[in-house]
């Protein structure tokens, strides 16, 4: 005795149904793993960016420099009216190779093509042919704004509670007209970093700068 045509068709239909369910379940699991991996990678990139920014600002140094045009540049400048979004001198540049160079380093942050870039220079006082080493820190940055606090006491007086009002902070930190960039140019007491990502929305960090 054998199977009838109807029985064979029913068996094929059941097999196809089970195979479809198995494939859908496996595809869902694979997609979930890929999404989890992408989220983990994105989280790592964002946390790494904040760590680099925090490390640089914690090591701020009151060392003005000369740019490639021979102009004096304060130890820290920033804002939309400045040449770079944020530019400053930091200490702690490790010299594991024992090269004849300073432990100070000039770094700049800029927003270009929806990406956050960090430039670092091999020397403090640059020449016309000095090229920075550029690192693309984070993609998908839709906008980036900075706020500068001139007086820490003012923030302490106004910062009662869990939220600190920063809307009246200066959006630019530049030397006054006629003031030579040097030791007489003050440094801000704190910097607020406001950044919006296309997938994570707005993020905000407040950095209290070391007293110099």
Tens digits of residue pLDDT in 26-85:
888 887 877 888 889 999 999 999 999 999 999 999 999 999 888 889 999 999 999 999
Mean pLDDT of 110-115: 94
pTM, entire model: 0.77
Distances (CA, A) of 12 to 3, 5, 9, 15, 20: 12, 11, 5, 5, 12
Q: What is the pLDDT of residue 155?
A: 56
Q: Which of 2-11, 76-85, 124-133, 193-202 has the lowest mean pLDDT?
A: 2-11
Q: Is 6 helix (H, G, I), strand (E, B) or coil?
A: helix
The answer to whether 183 and 62 are in contact (CB under 8 A) is: yes
To which H or E segment does residue 66 belong? strand 65-66
Mean pLDDT of 124-129: 90
Q: Is 5 helix (H, G, I), strand (E, B) or coil?
A: helix
- Provide the sign of the torsion angle of the four alpha carbons 36, 201, 55, 120, taken in this order: positive
Q: What is the pLDDT of residue 178?
A: 55
Rounded Cα distance between 183 and 36, Å, is 50
What would the pLDDT profile of 148-196 be if each residue is shown by its tens digit?
998 766 555 444 445 677 778 999 998 775 555 444 568 999 999 999 9
């Amino acid at each position: 005795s054998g199977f009838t045509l109807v029985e064979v068709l029913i068996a094929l239909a059941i097999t196809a149904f089970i195979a479809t369910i198995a494939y859908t379940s496996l595809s869902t699991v694979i997609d979930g793993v890929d999404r989890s991996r992408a989220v983990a990678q994105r989280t790592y990139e964002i946390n790494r960016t904040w760590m680099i920014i925090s490390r640089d600002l914690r090591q701020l140094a009151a060392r003005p420099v000369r740019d490639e045009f021979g102009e004096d540049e304060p130890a820290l400048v920033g804002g939309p009216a400045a040449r770079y979004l944020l530019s400053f001198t930091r200490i702690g540049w490790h010299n594991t190779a024992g090269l004849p160079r300073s432990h100070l380093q000039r770094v700049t942050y800029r927003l270009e093509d929806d990406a956050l870039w960090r430039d670092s220079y091999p020397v403090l006082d640059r020449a016309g042919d000095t090229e920075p080493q550029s690192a693309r820190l984070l993609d998908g940055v839709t906008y980036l704004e900075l706020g500068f606090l001139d007086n820490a006491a003012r923030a302490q007086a106004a910062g009662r509670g869990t939220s600190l009002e920063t809307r009246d902070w200066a959006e630019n930190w530049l030397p006054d007209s006629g003031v030579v960039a040097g030791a007489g140019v003050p440094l801000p007491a704190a910097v607020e970093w406001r950044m919006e990502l296309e997938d994570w929305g707005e993020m905000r960090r407040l950095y209290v700068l070391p007293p110099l």
